[in-house]
C-alpha cells in the first residue's frame, strides 16, 4: 500500500523572512527532517502543500519556492486564521509538518516555447514567484520565450520578495513592471493599478500565455485588458482558492462543479472555468 | 459462485457461531430501533427487519475517527501513532441498497492516485452478508430508479435470499467464499431455489412503486445551474444536516486537532454541505452563503457531479432522507419536479 497521504512529513523551520511593513506576511523556509521525504517531494510551480501544526490543524498554502531551489521549500503565508497565526508565532528551529505536493501546477509543458506574461497582485504572487524562478533558472530559460512580469501592490511596503524583484529588474532576459497603487516619499518606481499598467505594457498575444493571480477586483479589471490584446480564454490561466481539508479530493468541500480545486486544480484556464459552475 | 441453502431456524445459530470466531456486527433490536451491534452471546441477530435508521457507512467511515496521534517532546511535537489497524469482521444483515453504497464510497476513498488508508483497511477486512429485500420494506424505497435493485448483490460478499422456509446463500466474492469455510456444512443449492429466487426478484422489483427520474434529469442539471427552480426547494430547510448524516453515500468530512496535556490527536468527523461553515474561508469569503446554494450543491453532487466523475448517481434510493427530514423535504419529489421542467 502507498504511504498514508494524511500523515505530514516532519520539517524544520530554518528561515523566516518578514515580507511586508505590516509584518503579517512572512516567508517560511523548511527543510525536511527525513532525507527520503526531501527526495520524494517532487513538485512544480503552482502546486500547494498542507502546512501542519500539531494541536492547531492544517492550512493549504501555495509553494513559493521553485523546484530549482534545492534543499528546502518555501511558503509565503499571511497571518489570518488559527493555523497561520500559530505559524507566525513560531521561531526558526521549530519543527512542524508538511503534506504534499498537492494539486496540479502551472501548465509548464504548454508554456514551453511560448512568451509568458505573469500578472500578480499583492500577496497572491507566491506561486508566480515560484514560476518565475523556475523559468529563469539557467537550465530552463531557453525553454520559454519572452517573460513579462507585471506585479503590483497597494503601497511599496506591501510588495513581497523585494530583493528578488530588484535582482530580476537587473536581468535582461525578463521584463519587469513593478507598480504600486500609491507610492510614498521614498518610492521612485511606477505608480498605477495593475490593469492600467498591463494596458500600457500591452504584451502581444502572439504565441503568448498569461498567468494571473491576485485579488478578485484586480482580476476583474485586468481580464478585459488581455481580451482586448487578443488573448483567448485558453491562454489565460489562474489559480483558485477554496476552503480545503484533505487536499486529495475526499472531504468534499472544495468542489467547483464536478471538479475539486485541491486535486483537479488549483490551476485552471479561463476556458476551463467557463465550463464549471460559477461558484467559487 | 458457491450457492448453499440454510434452513431458516439454523441461520441464527450459524451467525452466532461466526461471532465466536470473529467480530460480527448484526442488526439487533434496541428499544424501538434496529441497530447494528456487536453480536455477543445470547443476542439474536435479526434477519427479518426493515432497515436500520443509520446507514452502515460508519463501519468504514466512522462518525469520528483518529487519523494520527502525537505528543509533545523536547524537540517539539512528534508523531506517536497512525491509529490502530482494523480487525477482521463480518457485517451481517446489510440491505442491498446499503451494500451498494459501499461500491459508491469506494469510488471516492479508493482511487488510483489517492487512497484513503483508514477506509480501505476496514473495508478490506470486512465481509458483508446482505439480506435481499424479498419484500421491499418501505413505500419510500426507490433503489430501482438510481441503478439498484431490491435483490442486488452489488457490494455484498454473501447474499441471503429468504425463500420461505430457507435461505438461499450466494457466496459472490472470494471473501464470501472464505467465510463459507467457517459456516460449517451447508447443503448445495438446487435449480429450484434459483428459480424461486428469480421469481421473487421480479416480484420485489415490481413492489418498488416509488420511482424517480434519476438519470433523466442529468441533461437539465448540466444546463441549469442558474434557474428559478432552485429558489423553490430550500425554503423550509432547517440546515440540520440529518439528510447527509443518514445518507449511505454522503462522505464529506472535517479534519481537526484535539489536544489534552502533552498528547494530541488529529481526527476526522462527518461534516455536511448543508452547513454554511462548510465552505467558509478564513478571509470571510464563502462561495455558498445561502441554503439555496447548499441545496443545489447536494442535489447536483448526487445527480450530476458524481455522474460526471464516476458514471453513477450518488444515491442508493434507501429513502432515509425522505423519512427523517424534520420538514418533509422529499428528494424524490424534487427530482421528479425537475424532470417535468
- Yes or no: say if A194 and A179 are a contact pair by the CB < 8 Å rule: yes
Residues of A in contact with B116 (CB under 8 A): 5-6, 250
Residues of B in contact with A55 (CB under 8 A): 70, 77, 257, 259, 264
Per-residue exposure over B187-206, b if at least 16 CB sit within 10 Å of its own CB, e if not: eebeeebeebbeebbeebee
pLDDT in the model for residue A1 = 46
pLDDT at A277 over 80: yes
* DSSP codes joined into one string, B289-337: -SHHHHHHHHHHIIIIIHHHHHSS-S-----HHHHH-TT---HHHHHHH
Using 50, 70 and 90 to split pLDDT, how confident is the model at B156?
Answer: very high
pLDDT, averaged across chain B: 93
Residues of B in contact with A57 (CB under 8 A): 255-257, 266
Residue B312 — φ and ψ, nearest 5°? -150, 150
pLDDT at B247 over 90: yes
Sign (positive/negative) of CA torsion B239, B241, B247, B252?
Answer: positive
Residue A203 neighbours by CB under 8 Å, 6+ apart: A115, A117, A148, A210, A229
Q: Which tens digits make up the pLDDT trace of A54-82?
A: 999 999 999 999 999 999 999 999 999 99
pLDDT in the model for residue A233 = 96
Residues of B in contact with A263 (CB under 8 A): 113-114
pLDDT in the model for residue A2 = 63
Sign (positive/negative) of CA torsion B243, B245, B248, B249?
Answer: positive
Q: For residues A252 and B249, what is the distance between their CA atoms, to the nearest angstrom?
A: 12
- Yes or no: say if B317 and B291 are a contact pair by the CB < 8 Å rule: no
And the C-alpha cell for A179? 507598480
Q: Is A4 on the interface with B (CB under 8 A)?
A: yes
Determine, for residues B287 and A280 on separate chains, whether the beta-carbon distance falls below 8 Å: yes
Residue B333 neighbours by CB under 8 Å, 6+ apart: none
Sign (positive/negative) of CA torsion B293, B295, B301, B303?
Answer: negative
Using 50, 70 and 90 to split pLDDT, how confident is the model at B44?
Answer: confident
Rounded to 10 deg, the angle between the B291-300 and B331-339 helix axes is 80
Q: Which tens digits make up the pLDDT trace of A13-59?
A: 999 999 999 999 999 999 999 999 999 999 999 999 999 999 999 99
Determine whether B54 is exposed, middle or buried from the number of CB atoms within 10 Å of its CB (0-12, 13-18, 19+).
Answer: middle
Q: Which tens digits make up the pLDDT trace of A178-224?
A: 999 999 999 999 999 999 999 999 999 999 999 999 998 999 999 99
Is the CATH code 3.40.630.30 the one for domain A9-102? no
CATH of domain A108-239: 3.40.50.80
Q: Which of B60, B66, B70, B77 to mutate to test the interface with A (most CBs of A within 10 A)?
A: B77
pLDDT at B77 over 80: no
- The ranges assigned to domains in chain A are 9-102, 108-239
Segment B206-234 shows an average pLDDT of 95
Q: CA nearest B286 in A: which residue? A: A280
Q: For residues B89 and B103, what is the distance between their CA atoms, to the nearest angstrom?
A: 18
Segment B85-94 shows an average pLDDT of 93
First to last CA, chain B: 45
pLDDT in the model for residue B83 = 65
Look at residue B54 and give its three-state secondary structure: coil
Q: Which tens digits make up the pLDDT trace of A113-129?
A: 999 999 999 999 999 99
pLDDT in the model for residue A176 = 97
Q: Which tens digits make up the pLDDT trace of A225-259?
A: 999 999 999 999 999 999 999 999 999 999 999 99
Amino acid at each position: 500500500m502507498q504511504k498514508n497521504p494524511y500523515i505530514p512529513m516532519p520539517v524544520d523551520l530554518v528561515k523566516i523572512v518578514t515580507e511586508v511593513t505590516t509584518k503579517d506576511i512572512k516567508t517560511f523556509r523548511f527543510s525536511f527532517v527525513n532525507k527520503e521525504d526531501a527526495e520524494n517531494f517532487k513538485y512544480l510551480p503552482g502546486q500547494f502543500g498542507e502546512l501542519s501544526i500539531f494541536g492547531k490543524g492544517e492550512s493549504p498554502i501555495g509553494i513559493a519556492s521553485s523546484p530549482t531551489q534545492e534543499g528546502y521549500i518555501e511558503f509565503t503565508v499571511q497571518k489570518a486564521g488559527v493555523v497561520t497565526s500559530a505559524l507566525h508565532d513560531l521561531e526558526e528551529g521549530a519543527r512542524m509538518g508538511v503534506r504534499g505536493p498537492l494539486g496540479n501546477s502551472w501548465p509548464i509543458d504548454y508554456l514551453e516555447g511560448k512568451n509568458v506574461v505573469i500578472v500578480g497582485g499583492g500577496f497572491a504572487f507566491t506561486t508566480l514567484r515560484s514560476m518565475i524562478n523556475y523559468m529563469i533558472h539557467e537550465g530552463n530559460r531557453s525553454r520559454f520565450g519572452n517573460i513579462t512580469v507585471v506585479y503590483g501592490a497597494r503601497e511599496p511596503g506591501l510588495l513581497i520578495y523585494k530583493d528578488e524583484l530588484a535582482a530580476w529588474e537587473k536581468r535582461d532576459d525578463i521584463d519587469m513592471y513593478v507598480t504600486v497603487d500609491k507610492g510614498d516619499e521614498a518610492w521612485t518606481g511606477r505608480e498605477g493599478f495593475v490593469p492600467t499598467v498591463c494596458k500600457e505594457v500591452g504584451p502581444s498575444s502572439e504565441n503568448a500565455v498569461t498567468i494571473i493571480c491576485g485579488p478578485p477586483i484586480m482580476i476583474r479589471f485586468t481580464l478585459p485588458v488581455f481580451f482586448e490584446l487578443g488573448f483567448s480564454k485558453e491562454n489565460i490561466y489562474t489559480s483558485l482558492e477554496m476552503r480545503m481539508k484533505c487536499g486529495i479530493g475526499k472531504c468534499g468541500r472544495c468542489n467547483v462543479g464536478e471538479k475539486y480545486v485541491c486535486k483537479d486544480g488549483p490551476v485552471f484556464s479561463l476556458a476551463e472555468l467557463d465550463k464549471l459552475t460559477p461558484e467559487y | 459462485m458457491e450457492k448453499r441453502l440454510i434452513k431458516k431456524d439454523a441461520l441464527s445459530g450459524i451467525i452466532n457461531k461466526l461471532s465466536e470466531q470473529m467480530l460480527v456486527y448484526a442488526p439487533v433490536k434496541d428499544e424501538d430501533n434496529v441497530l447494528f451491534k456487536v453480536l455477543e452471546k445470547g443476542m439474536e441477530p435479526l434477519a427479518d427487519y426493515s432497515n436500520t435508521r443509520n446507514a452502515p457507512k460508519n463501519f468504514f467511515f466512522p462518525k469520528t475517527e483518529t487519523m494520527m496521534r502525537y505528543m509533545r517532546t523536547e524537540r517539539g511535537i512528534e508523531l506517536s501513532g497512525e491509529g490502530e489497524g482494523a480487525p477482521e469482521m463480518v457485517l451481517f444483515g446489510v440491505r442491498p441498497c446499503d451494500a451498494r453504497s459501499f461500491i459508491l464510497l469506494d469510488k471516492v476513498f479508493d482511487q488510483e492516485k489517492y487512497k484513503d488508508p483508514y477506509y480501505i483497511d476496514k473495508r478490506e477486512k470486512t465481509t458483508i452478508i446482505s439480506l435481499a429485500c424479498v419484500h421491499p420494506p418501505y413505500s419510500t424505497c426507490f433503489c430501482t430508479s438510481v441503478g439498484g435493485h431490491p435483490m442486488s448483490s452489488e457490494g455484498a460478499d454473501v447474499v441471503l435470499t429468504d425463500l420461505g422456509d430457507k435461505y438461499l446463500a450466494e457466496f459472490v466474492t472470494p471473501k464470501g467464499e472464505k467465510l463459507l469455510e467457517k459456516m460449517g456444512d451447508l447443503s448445495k443449492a438446487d435449480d429450484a431455489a434459483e428459480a424461486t429466487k428469480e421469481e421473487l426478484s421480479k416480484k420485489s422489483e415490481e413492489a418498488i412503486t416509488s420511482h424517480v427520474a434519476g438519470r433523466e434529469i442529468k441533461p437539465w442539471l448540466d444546463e441549469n445551474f442558474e434557474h428559478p427552480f432552485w429558489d423553490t426547494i430550500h425554503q423550509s430547510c432547517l440546515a440540520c444536516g440529518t439528510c447527509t448524516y443518514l445518507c449511505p453515500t454522503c462522505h464529506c468530512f472535517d479534519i481537526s486537532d484535539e489536544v489534552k496535556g502533552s498528547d494530541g490527536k488529529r481526527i476526522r468527523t462527518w461534516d455536511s454541505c448543508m452547513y454554511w461553515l462548510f465552505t467558509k474561508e478564513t478571509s470571510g469569503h464563502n462561495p455558498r452563503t445561502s441554503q439555496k446554494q447548499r441545496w443545489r450543491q447536494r442535489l447536483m453532487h448526487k445527480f450530476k457531479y458524481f455522474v460526471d466523475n464516476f458514471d453513477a448517481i450518488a444515491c442508493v434510493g434507501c429513502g432515509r432522507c425522505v423519512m427523517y427530514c424534520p420538514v418533509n423535504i422529499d428528494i424524490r419529489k424534487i427530482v421528479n419536479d425537475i424532470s417535468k421542467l
